[in-house]
Chains A and B, each alone.
Chain A
Amino acid sequence: NAGVTQTPKFQVLKTGQSMTLQCAQDMNHEYMSWYRQDPGMGLRLIHYSVGAGITDQGEVPNGYNVSRSTTEDFPLRLLSAAPSQTSVYFCASSSAAETQYFGPGTRLLVL
């Protein structure tokens, strides 16, 4: 099992550009989440999903879209990148009320 995988590992964007951060898991987990990690702020939940076709907003959803067309994949879309979205993004997956498994992260720099 690869666990939770994320691509790309690192990305540089210009303000206004759009991009998609990919996340995939091969553990058949129904729950998937996206967090952003910023110095001094810990991890904050952006969006989450409780199953294919079901998504909901977390604490900091503005500027991001998600979809969950399959159990395995949970992409995060930045519609129009802003410097405030410079961060490290982590995807996580889990079964109900069980341990969350995190991906390796994507470092995003928006200029």
Chain B
Amino acid sequence: AQRVTQPEKLLSVFKGAPVELKCNYSYSGSPELFWYVQYSRQRLQLLLRHISRESIKGFTADLNKGETSFHLKKPFAQEEDSAMYYCALLTGGGNKLTFGTGTQLKVEL
């Protein structure tokens, strides 16, 4: 069965420090992975998807099939990065997403 694991409920870093939000997945098919971000009391919005191989707001994520990981990274955290981050896996027909439990990122001054 498909599963997405985000081991950290809360990650606290100082402004300017590097950030890495961990995501591991379990899926028998060819994975298609996403990172969604939810700022306080707002709707979820796409941050990036692995097939795009792009950097959004300074964030990058590389799919590592050997380690079944899709960690989100940013070299220098900014205060406005504070938000809830969800890793998600596209599973089966119907464009269904399986989400991880989310990591709350808090960037402190």
Majority secondary structure of chain A interface residues (helix, strand, loop or mixed): strand
Contact for B96 among A4, A33, A40, A104, CB less than 8 A: A33
Interface residues on A, range: 20 to 34
Contact B43 A99 (CB under 8 A): no
Interface residues on B, range: 20 to 34
Residues of the A chain whose Cβ atoms lie less than 8 Å from the Cβ of B95: 31, 33, 48, 50, 94, 96-98, 100
Asked if A26 is at the interface of the complex by the 8 Å CB criterion, the answer is no
Residues A100 and B97 in contact in the complex (CB < 8 Å), given A42-B102, A105-B43: yes
Stretch of B14-22, B60-68, B72-80, B86-94 at the chain-chain interface: B86-94
Contact A90 B94 (CB under 8 A): no
Contact A40 B49 (CB under 8 A): no
Known: A42-B99, A42-B100. 19 other contacts (CB 8 A): A4-B43, A33-B95, A33-B97, A35-B99, A40-B9, A40-B101, A42-B4, A42-B101, A42-B102, A48-B94, A50-B93, A56-B94, A58-B96, A92-B97, A96-B95, A99-B34, A99-B46, A102-B44, A105-B43
Interface residues, chain A, with chain B CB atoms under 8 Å away: 4, 31, 33, 35, 40-45, 48-50, 56, 58, 90, 92, 94, 96-100, 102-105
